[in-house]
Structure 1
Amino acid sequence: MAPAIPQTFSTFNIPPTRRHVDTIDFLLGRPSLELLPEALRPSARSFLSYLATLPASAPHQCPACASRSISLAIPAGSRGLRRDGYYCRNCNKRFNVLSGTPLRLLRSEDKWKPWMSYRFQGFSQELIATFLGISNKASMTWSRAFMEAMADYDADLHRWWEDHQSTQVSELTDEVEEALEACVAALAELTVLTDRHCPYCGSSSNQVLTSRRATEYQCHGCGRRYNNLTETPLSHIQHKELWPEYLRLLVVGYHDTEIGERLGLSKSLTNLWRQRFLEFMQPRWPLLAHWTLWQWSRRRASSSGEPLP
């Protein structure tokens, strides 16, 4: 039986930075298949079930000649075998349920489903290796084997998943595209809003003050001044005219240096913006933040170094 997937990062004995812990806890708390298009989620669930049940199942035919005239030859445990051995009466070949499959050389079958589930959730191969207590080399081997197995199991799922492992800009799912448009609209609203309640005391009674940079208010309840960004992650972030374009570049996977070159911002500034925008997205558009973290970390782990188009 496959081990349950932990729901908090504290179960892993790793001492990362606090921000790293918060990010991983956020991803672990997300639905494991929500990065995939809704139409492909049933196929992904079926593939996870396939990985969990295949090692204990029985073959239906010989992998060498496809004959169904097969019989159990050696039960698991006999002669040191880890799984049942079968015999083909047609070609006289001996085999087991994994013979002829991309998974034939893999061990630790109880970790196959959790590994792929973590992968669908957006975690890197290296981090999954740490989660499950396997080597990075084994994690890379599993990745290649599972991709081959996925190609045999469901061509559409494999095609979409493979496309989203490349270093190029990935096509957004419909759900992510909708969340992105809603977030861009919310950013635009922040620049024109003139009736924000006080973030300190919640009072709706205020006086609108003039300002060159943003709409400012004087609260009649607590007397404090504030603007549309006060007590939000975007407080003190300038260049509002660049926000929509920055957000789109961030969501599709551009990195800090690439975004800085396109928008004329320093790397330290784009690094700050990335952190602040992710904080802004997580409460209202968690899927958008989830997707952004996945795309950003996926390209960051790439060794190609090629710029995006």
Structure 2
Amino acid sequence: MDLKELKKIADALDDSGKQELIYFLQSRTKAMTTPIRLIDEIQEQKHKEGLNCPHCNSHSVVRFGKYGIKTRNGEVKRQRYRCKSCHQTFNALSNTPLQRTRKPHLWVRFIECMIEGFSLRKCAELLHDEVTHVTLFYWRHKILAALKQIPTVPF
């Protein structure tokens, strides 16, 4: 099968089928670097004025090992930290909606699905059943709670 035949088949799809094809192709071709870079951006923005403990707000923090996030393309190591004052450990995602999520690399695609207005079951299907619709229910509520905390300016 050549590219012309594939284009004809894609043109014959309805809008929902085309959207599903787009998500499928993106998941197969796009490396997981974009979501990982997004997590790095969250860390930079959160700690741009210096690293501080989310538990006691102390600035006496040291590195405390690494932990792995398993992605489709392997494992990404993330830095853990420990506060010298309260001895609590934390990471870059502490006190963010991504805290304690097992697959943060899927959040970008899930948010895209939410924007498109897909149901949770359809989102789970488009994410190739890497997470269940029940997990997506909790993710959606984490996102909505985070959006409520953003200050809005009345017009």
The TM-score with structure 1 as length reference comes to: 0.32
Structure 2 CA distance for partners of 1:135 and 1:108, relative to 1, 3 Å: same
Matched length: 118
Equivalent residue number for residue 108 of structure 2: 113
Equivalent residue number for residue 148 of structure 1: 145
Equivalent residue number for residue 137 of structure 1: 134
- Contact conserved, 1:52 with 1:113, CA < 8 A, in 2? no
Q: How does 1:219-258 map to 2 (within 5 A)?
A: none
- Contact conserved, 1:55 with 1:98, CA < 8 A, in 2? no
- Contact conserved, 2:80 with 2:91, CA < 8 A, in 1? yes
The answer to whether the aligner puts 1:24 opposite 2:19 as a matched pair is: no
- Which residue, 21, 26, 38 being the options, matches 1:53? 38
Letter in 1 for 2:56: C
- Contact conserved, 2:64 with 2:81, CA < 8 A, in 1? yes
Q: Secondary structure at the match of 1:76?
A: strand
- Which residue, 34, 54, 73 being the options, matches 1:63? 54
Structure 2 CA distance for partners of 1:63 and 1:90, relative to 1, 3 Å: same
Equivalent residue number for residue 227 of structure 1: none
Structure 2 CA distance for partners of 1:151 and 1:115, relative to 1, 3 Å: same
% of aligned pairs identical? 23
- What is the root-mean-square deviation of aligned Cα atoms in Å? 3.7
CA separation in 2, counterparts of 1:124 and 1:51?
A: 25
CA separation in 1, counterparts of 2:78 and 2:36?
A: 15
Structure 2 CA distance for partners of 1:146 and 1:117, relative to 1, 3 Å: same
Q: Shift of residue 25 of structure 1? A: 4.2
Q: Secondary structure at the match of 2:14?
A: helix
CA separation in 1, counterparts of 2:144 and 2:19?
A: 22
Q: Secondary structure at the match of 1:83?
A: strand
Equivalent residue number for residue 252 of structure 1: none
CA separation in 2, counterparts of 1:51 and 1:125?
A: 23
Structure 2 CA distance for partners of 1:121 and 1:147, relative to 1, 3 Å: same
Equivalent residue number for residue 31 of structure 2: none
- Contact conserved, 2:81 with 2:90, CA < 8 A, in 1? yes
Q: Secondary structure at the match of 2:67?
A: coil
- Contact conserved, 2:93 with 2:99, CA < 8 A, in 1? yes
Structure 2 CA distance for partners of 1:70 and 1:50, relative to 1, 3 Å: farther
Letter in 2 for 1:83: R
Q: Secondary structure at the match of 2:138?
A: helix
Q: Shift of residue 69 of structure 1? A: 2.3
Q: Shift of residue 68 of structure 1? A: 2.5
Equivalent residue number for residue 97 of structure 1: 92
CA separation in 1, counterparts of 2:151 and 2:103?
A: 26
CA separation in 1, counterparts of 2:37 and 2:133?
A: 21
CA separation in 1, counterparts of 2:121 and 2:36?
A: 20
CA separation in 1, counterparts of 2:36 and 2:140?
A: 13
Letter in 2 for 1:120: I
CA separation in 2, counterparts of 1:62 and 1:104?
A: 15
The TM-score with structure 2 as length reference comes to: 0.59
What residue ranges of structure 1 are gaps of 5+ in the alignment? 1-9, 12-17, 30-48, 158-309
Q: Secondary structure at the match of 2:78?
A: coil
Structure 2 CA distance for partners of 1:103 and 1:136, relative to 1, 3 Å: same
> Higher Cα Rg: structure 1 or 2?
1
Q: Secondary structure at the match of 2:62?
A: strand
The answer to whether the aligner puts 1:74 opposite 2:65 as a matched pair is: yes
Q: Shift of residue 138 of structure 1? A: 1.1
Q: Shift of residue 52 of structure 1? A: 5.6
- Contact conserved, 1:52 with 1:110, CA < 8 A, in 2? no
